[in-house]
Amino acid sequence: MTLQPPRTEGEPAPTVRPRRVPDYRLRGLDLDAPVFTDASPRPVRTKHPANRRRRRRLLVQWAIVLVVIAVVAVLLRAFVVQPYSVGSTSMVPTLSPGTDVLVVKWSALTGAIKAGDVIVTHEPSNATCTPGGGHAHDVVARVIGLPGETIWSVAGTIYVNGQRLDEPGWYNPPSGEVGSADIVRTTIPQGSYFVMGDNRSDSCDSRSFGPVPRSLFIGTVVATIARNGHPVVHGI
């Protein structure tokens, strides 16, 4: 205990300062350390040049693949297969209007043209009739006579090289074998074919424009793929 000297009358009382008690909770805290108010910014990750090159190379590869697919599709349509829509009644009942068929252009896939094949051909320039339908200058018909054969009709019956034509249900029964237009005696030139529609009463065919050169053929019909917009796959 600290003793204070006696205080005289009128002398102000001495100021007693409180004793400072150390705060042990701050032990080890450096009060003089600098204060950081903002956090250090995160480093920005830059895209590696190798990644950009890899993505660029991938895009180029995909572009090449798409171009190749497009070229193959164009080549297939131009030289191998092509869809065709029947727009006339000349092939009823085999093919009705609104039927989509698959035409094979490459003869290596279908073999030699034979009697009974259904083909699509460009209309010959000497045609005096109109095929009609969506392809006004194309004819869909059936091969009846082959190169070198002689064909004609008598009393509604077709003869090829003196033998009656054996048609296993090709033509439309109500119209008969030749309909209202007979076939004049014709020897088919080499490289040409005599074609007729199955609907013999309503068909623009070789009775009008004669035998058709093979060079005008677009291809051979191998199957139906749709009818009036509905998928229907059926061989011809």
| pLDDT over threshold 50, residue 198 | yes
The structure's pTM equals 0.69
| Cα–Cα distance for residue pair 50/64, rounded to 1 Å | 21
At 11-70, the pLDDT tens digits run 555 655 656 655 555 555 555 555 545 555 665 565 567 788 888 888 888 888 888 888
Lowest mean pLDDT among 22-31, 174-183, 193-202: 22-31
Residue 201: which pLDDT band, with cuts at 50, 70 and 90? very high
Q: Which residue has the higher pLDDT, 190 or 34?
A: 190
Q: Contacts by 172-177 with C-beta closer than 8 Å and gap 24+?
A: 172/92, 172/93, 172/198, 172/199, 172/200, 172/201, 174/201, 175/199, 175/200, 175/201, 175/202, 176/200, 176/201, 177/153
